[in-house]
Amino acid sequence: MLLEVKNLTTEFKLKRGIVKAVDDISFTIDKGEILAIVGESGSGKSVTSLSIMGLLQKPGKVTGGQIFYKSQDLSTLSKKELQKLRGNQISMIFQEPMTSLNPVWRIKDQIMESIMLHMKLSKKDALARTIEILETVGIPSAAQRANDYPHQMSGGMRQRVMTAMALACNPELLIADEPTTALDVTIQAQILELLYRMREKFHMAVMLITHDLGVVSEAADRVIVMYCGKIMEEADVRTLFNNPMHPYTIGLLKSIPQIDNDSDERLYMIKGMVPNPLNMPKGCPFSDRCEQSMERCTQEMPQLQDIDGHKVRCFLHDAKEGGSAKQ
């Protein structure tokens, strides 16, 4: 077990009230595993990653739970130790490759800075390492491109540079926050393939945050579906796509226009929209959009049930109530 998140709760204190962006979530990532966290905007998936990295901005604050990295509680670490961990053992790549790179620095300077900081290499060795890693992520004629400024590169190239930066110090955990959302489909395919290859090569774990179930199905080993700050369902990727249990997951899967589906019927749609975080429905947060919502769903919060390794938060699968475990 590489990373263990226990009962993490992150709140945003706003003038109009407190928003629980992440509400009591627990999960683990093993070595070399790709865990995908899927959710729509406002589901708390990005806040989860920022909480783990300790990069939350005010007014956000982790208000509960613990995060263990290699059995070490991150909250007991000093700021300095945490900083050492970040970039060295845990790296992150962001959605927007344009704004994540410093526009006035050359590519090599940005990568070398982190290498020299974390790996304590000489300038010469750091440069060699930089070019090596740029080659690894598939940048052609890396030695020359290393002298480029970010604006001289295309979006896909920049995302490669971001990935190179994140991989420069051989991290054991890579947090990728929507790494392909801003990219074109053919470039997305390139970057996903790169992530996959890097995982094989360096045997690192990847926490892949995305809203795109297609990306999940292509890349992930295990999936967590989040909605309104809560984990709704968790399973390995095959189980989740073959036998989704939560009505939200089922709805999401059905509402995506699929390329191998030939019918001209209307798309399935989940009615309504994500509730206002300041005015959550009582009970299950999905109850007001759920087609199978019952009286009970609007009254109490279902617990996350573990049914043979397939976790789901829904009364339809409540073992004690004798609900069927199959959809």
Amino acid, single-letter form, for residue 4: E
Which one of the spans 63-71, 163-171, 237-245, 305-313 is the region binding another protein (CB under 8 A)? 237-245
Three-point CA angle 62, 213, 89, nearest 5°: 45
Contact string 93-132 vs another protein (x = CB under 8 A): ----------------------------------------
| Interaction of residue 184 with another protein, rule CB under 8 A | yes
Q: Strand runs (DSSP E) across the chain, as ranges?
A: 3-14, 17-29, 34-38, 60-69, 72-73, 90-93, 173-177, 205-210, 222-227, 230-236, 305-307, 310-312
Q: What are phi and psi of 285, to 5 degrees?
A: -65, -20
If one counts every other C-beta atom within 10 angstroms of the C-beta of residue 121, the result is 17
CB closer to another protein out of 8 and 215: 215
Strand partners, 26: none
CB closer to another protein out of 31 and 238: 238
| Interaction of residue 81 with another protein, rule CB under 8 A | no
| Residues in the chain, total | 327
Cα separation, 101 vs 150, in Å, equals 7
* Of positions 260, 279, 324, 326, contacts another protein by CB under 8 A: 260
Cα separation, 211 vs 203, in Å, equals 25
| Interaction of residue 30 with another protein, rule CB under 8 A | no
* Of positions 41, 71, 76, 324, contacts another protein by CB under 8 A: 41
Helices (H), 138-232: 142-145, 155-167, 185-202, 213-219
Residues 143-182 contacting another protein, CB under 8 A:
154-157
| Interaction of residue 271 with another protein, rule CB under 8 A | yes
Residues 42-61 contacting another protein, CB under 8 A:
none
Which one of the spans 20-28, 92-100, 106-114, 184-192 is the region binding another protein (CB under 8 A)? 184-192
First to last CA, the chain: 31
CA dihedral sign, ordered 137, 141, 145, 146: positive
| Interaction of residue 252 with another protein, rule CB under 8 A | yes
| Interaction of residue 255 with another protein, rule CB under 8 A | yes
249: exposed, middle or buried (Cβ count in 10 Å: 0-12, 13-18, 19+): buried
Strand partners, 226: 231
> What is the pairing mode between strands 173-177 and 205-210?
parallel
The distance of closest approach from Cβ of residue 264 to another protein in the complex, given in angstroms and rounded to an integer, is 8
CB closer to another protein out of 4 and 218: 218
| Interaction of residue 140 with another protein, rule CB under 8 A | yes
The distance of closest approach from Cβ of residue 212 to another protein in the complex, given in angstroms and rounded to an integer, is 7
How many residues of this chain bind another protein (CB under 8 A)? 50
The distance of closest approach from Cβ of residue 243 to another protein in the complex, given in angstroms and rounded to an integer, is 12
* Of positions 71, 122, 257, 324, contacts another protein by CB under 8 A: 257
Where on the chain is the footprint of another protein (CB under 8 A)?
A: 14-16, 40-41, 140, 154-157, 184-190, 192-193, 211-215, 217-218, 237-238, 241-242, 251-253, 255-260, 262, 264, 266-274
